[in-house]
Structure 1
Amino acid sequence: MRRFTVLCGGYIVSMTGTALTSFALTVWIYLETGSTIQFAIGFILSLLPAIALSPFAGALVDRWDRRTVMLAGDTVGVCTSLSLAVLAGLDVLEPWHIFVTITVRSALGAFLVPALNASVTQLAPRSQLGRANGMVMTATAVSQTVAPALGGLLIVAIGLPGILAIDCATFLLNIAILLRLRIPRPTPSEDGPAGIFGEIREGWHHLATRRGLVPLLCFYAALNLAVGFVDVLFTPLVIGMASVTALGAVLTAGGVGMFLGGATMAAWGGPPKRIHGIAGLAVPLGFFLCLGALRPSIALVAVAAFGFQFCSMIIDGTSRSVLQTEVEPGMQGRAFAAFNMITNTVLFTGYMLAGPVSERIFEPLLRPDGALADTVGRVIGVGAGRGSAFLILLLGVAVLIVARLAYFSRDLRALRDDVPLTAPAAADAAPKQRADAAGSSSGREPAARP
């Protein structure tokens, strides 16, 4: 566990530098162009390359040394930050330079995320996987909480080149840590398929035929669709009832919830019955969504943001622990990549649909003269942002329904941190059981499995 703690220490420093840079670059784009379209382009480019490359990245992560993958990613990170710093210092920086950087970093993320997640099982004892994932998420929460607070001050004090220099320094520190750290390589499969496409197919098949993983994937994808809508609708919801200052206060409350959720997961490790850390925490998460949309109150929204982020961190940590427990180490790069590809695609769909659905359908319903102003509007209010609030309220109810459906899944209910469900799904297991029974009835031993 000591080596994992060292790795996590480097990760938190590197992530904080990266978050500072992301904040500064988005502010720079908006200040320089004044265009929300340019801002949205950067947002889309931060997701699409990672989604497209995930299958190949997962297969290569399982082939390559995972420490080398992380070292290569940090090295490219240094180069991109240094290049942008030089361009900004010479006053020739253009938005397309930043778009190229965002694309490159998104592509690297397709490799780095499964490499880091798969390294957890190689460095942390199996009994400590929940706590280890909590430490990773706490590091992420710290970086995302600190970056907005520091970024606004630093961009005025030292400018964009100075922030990019800090990012370079954090990458170099993490490289130094990785060079002194040994991450064991999992034992490769001797009878695996040849070629990268065969390995990709094997990873998808492995994910699809393991008990508990398919219902977990469906649950997490449904949750991510709701999260995608909420991420986009959150800002107009708050600004519609208050000010940008209030938005900052609510975001701070959400950041505190992220930090405490990750810290709780790190100290606790999650419940032994994984269903309670997945579907069980989705119940209060759905209630917090409903609470934040119920009335135009900043206090309610701040409480809802805190609770939503707190529950999300434990659900995320528990889901990672399930994958790390149920998938053998040599297959985890592909499993995490396939899982991330599907859930991030659903998240991206939420991002794309949230604006049009809210503006064209729900906002007109809750204008002072809207169709629902005299019914739903009497409860949640009318005016700017209340249509988004009504949509978030419905999403909260949908999350509660999804949590209830998850408890109906026998495979999800059977997930435990001490008993992995290594057997394939029943559809694949049945032919083998019949073959074993035939072998026994004929007096012969069943053929040994490789």
Structure 2
Amino acid sequence: MQLNWKKKFAFIFTGQLFSILTTSMVQFSIIWHLTETTQSAVVLTITALVGFLPQAILGPFIGVWLDRWNRKLTMIVADGAIALFSLALGLYYYFGDPGLGFVYLILMARSVASSFHAPAFQSAIPLIAPQDQLTHVAGWHQMVFSSSNIIGPALGIAVYSATSLGTVLFLDVAGALIANIMLMLVRIDQPKPDTKQKAEFLKEFKLGWQAFVQVKPVVIVTGATAVFSIVFMPLATLFPFMTLSHFERGGYSASLVEAVFAIGMIVGGLLLSVVASKWKDIAYICMSILILGAASLFSGLLAKEAFILFVALSLVMGAAAPFFNGPYMAMIQKAYDPAILGRVISLVTSIMLLASPIGLLIAGPIVDRYGIQFWFVGSGLVTMATGFVLIAMFKRLDAAVPATQQESGANG
């Protein structure tokens, strides 16, 4: 039994590695192509928006359909649709030069398909792995995702420079094909649907929301995640600006910081997969938030000559990130019945996606007025405060609720 589920994940993650890698290649290559050809910040902003807004807006509603449909088939169809859109754009670039409107349309369509694929994958995991192994699996997933984010941009720009954007898009089609073939070799049992709620969309949506709010530990962490996303997620966009404006370094140094952060995520994912069962999920989440906050705070206090220390702190932040993302998703997977998991995962994903642009809108004027260091320091302080509040709230929750009830509710 133990070997059986691990063999399934070996097939799934092997296929997903190809799909995530080629998708990362496409995303970076398209951004680089638009940067080269338009040299317009407005174009890049619109590109980012059409890439994530459909997922943020549609997520909570898509969850209803995900809980009705076969999750394995949903993943195959969604990945196939993404491949079709890549093929259409690739052919257009191969034979000509598509207008920006067509590029935006394809990116939006890919985003809609991704909004089905990602939560379908996450909600299928508890149908395969034993509950006590979900945090280990989250660590594996973080490693696959982080490895692709390191290799993808470098490989994408190499293929793009040597050939064309069309070739990179064709490779994305091949990646999706490999992922789907590997997925077809795996059996994923479906949760039994509640026949009493059949074909009542609004009622199912409401039931998903009601189920979400009933698990207090997950609601508390999701609230903390929203605050965390607003103050910390803009740093992903501001890292190059910190390198340029404060440390007075060029593009090579900026790419070094990005690579070191991604290497840290791989190391963190590996550590999480090894030590996942040592503590409760909430302990890893709080530890991660406090380390991320402290590293951000110290980064904002560095002198401009201390670039190497900034690189080291970027490694620490990268290594700490999987200890938040992995246990948080595992906590959700453990807390809810698989029959409603698609709705819950889509909902919390939308909350995180919507919080990030709010943070960017706030960060921009503050950085322009007070400098990039101010945001790093402020982000660090707010993030650490969020971690301490989370610790206090869970201590109070543990005191109020018997341990057995806690374990059956969210294992947090």
* Shift of residue 193, structure 1, vs aligned partner: 7.1
1:19-34 alignment, distance < 5 Å = 19-34=24-39
The 1-side partners of 2:27 and 2:397 are apart by 39
Aligned position for 2:126: 121
Aligned position for 2:374: 390
The 2-side partners of 1:335 and 1:153 are apart by 39
In structure 2, relative to structure 1, the CA distance for the partners of 1:423 and 1:255 (3 Å cut) is: closer
| CA distances 1:144-189 after superposition (whole Å, capped 9, x unpaired) | 1101221222111122121112111111111111222211101222
Counterpart of 1:394, as a letter, is G
Aligned position for 1:185: 190
SS for the counterpart of 2:80 is helix
Counterpart of 1:287, as a letter, is A
In structure 2, relative to structure 1, the CA distance for the partners of 1:119 and 1:260 (3 Å cut) is: same
TM normalised by structure 2 equals 0.92
| CA distances 1:371-405 after superposition (whole Å, capped 9, x unpaired) | xxxxxxxxxxxxxxxx1112111110111111110
1:399 matches 2:383: yes
The 2-side partners of 1:331 and 1:52 are apart by 19
* Shift of residue 194, structure 1, vs aligned partner: 5.3
The 1-side partners of 2:320 and 2:404 are apart by 23
Aligned position for 1:274: 281
In structure 2, relative to structure 1, the CA distance for the partners of 1:417 and 1:353 (3 Å cut) is: farther
In structure 2, relative to structure 1, the CA distance for the partners of 1:417 and 1:105 (3 Å cut) is: farther
Q: Structure 1 or 2: larger helix share?
A: 2
* Shift of residue 191, structure 1, vs aligned partner: 3.9
The 2-side partners of 1:109 and 1:81 are apart by 13
The 1-side partners of 2:29 and 2:291 are apart by 34
In structure 2, relative to structure 1, the CA distance for the partners of 1:144 and 1:270 (3 Å cut) is: farther
SS for the counterpart of 2:114 is helix
| CA distances 1:193-213 after superposition (whole Å, capped 9, x unpaired) | 751111111111111111311
Aligned position for 2:356: 347
The 2-side partners of 1:191 and 1:11 are apart by 35
Aligned position for 2:333: 324
Which of residues 29, 34, 40 in structure 2 aligns to 1:35? 40
Counterpart of 1:346, as a letter, is A
CA contact (8 A) 1:17 1:167 kept: yes
* Shift of residue 232, structure 1, vs aligned partner: 2.6
Aligned position for 1:336: 345
| CA distances 1:313-362 after superposition (whole Å, capped 9, x unpaired) | 11110101100111111111011011111122112211222222211x31
Aligned position for 1:300: 309
Alignment length (residue pairs): 399
Which of residues 226, 237, 250 in structure 2 aligns to 1:232? 237
* Shift of residue 227, structure 1, vs aligned partner: 2.4
The 2-side partners of 1:299 and 1:182 are apart by 48
The 1-side partners of 2:159 and 2:402 are apart by 46
| CA distances 1:277-312 after superposition (whole Å, capped 9, x unpaired) | 111221111111112221122212211211112111
The 1-side partners of 2:34 and 2:116 are apart by 27
Which of residues 59, 62, 72 in structure 2 aligns to 1:54? 59
1:205 matches 2:210: yes
Structure 1's unaligned 5+ residue stretches are 363-386, 425-450
In structure 2, relative to structure 1, the CA distance for the partners of 1:185 and 1:44 (3 Å cut) is: same
Aligned position for 1:100: 105
* Shift of residue 190, structure 1, vs aligned partner: 4.1
| CA distances 1:32-55 after superposition (whole Å, capped 9, x unpaired) | 111110011001111111111111
* Shift of residue 93, structure 1, vs aligned partner: 2.2
State percent identity of aligned pairs: 21
Aligned position for 2:166: 161
| CA distances 1:216-251 after superposition (whole Å, capped 9, x unpaired) | 111111111122321232221111121111101111
CA contact (8 A) 1:232 1:354 kept: no
1:255 matches 2:262: yes
TM normalised by structure 1 equals 0.85
Aligned position for 2:22: 17
Aligned position for 1:176: 181
* Shift of residue 423, structure 1, vs aligned partner: 5.2
Q: Which deviates the most, 223-232 or 400-409?
A: 223-232
The 2-side partners of 1:271 and 1:220 are apart by 23
* Shift of residue 417, structure 1, vs aligned partner: 12
Aligned position for 1:88: 93
In structure 2, relative to structure 1, the CA distance for the partners of 1:86 and 1:339 (3 Å cut) is: same
CA contact (8 A) 1:14 1:170 kept: yes
In structure 2, relative to structure 1, the CA distance for the partners of 1:341 and 1:151 (3 Å cut) is: same
Counterpart of 1:342, as a letter, is I
1:345-424 alignment, distance < 5 Å = 345-359=354-368, 361-362=369-370, 387-410=371-394, 414=398, 421-422=407-408
* Shift of residue 25, structure 1, vs aligned partner: 0.6
* Shift of residue 192, structure 1, vs aligned partner: 3.7
Structure 2's unaligned 5+ residue stretches are none
CA contact (8 A) 2:363 2:375 kept: no
CA contact (8 A) 1:290 1:396 kept: yes
SS for the counterpart of 1:182 is coil
Aligned position for 1:428: none
The 2-side partners of 1:264 and 1:397 are apart by 26
Aligned position for 1:285: 292
Displaced runs of 4 or more, over 6 A: 415-419
Which of residues 181, 200, 204 in structure 2 aligns to 1:195? 200
The 1-side partners of 2:351 and 2:140 are apart by 25
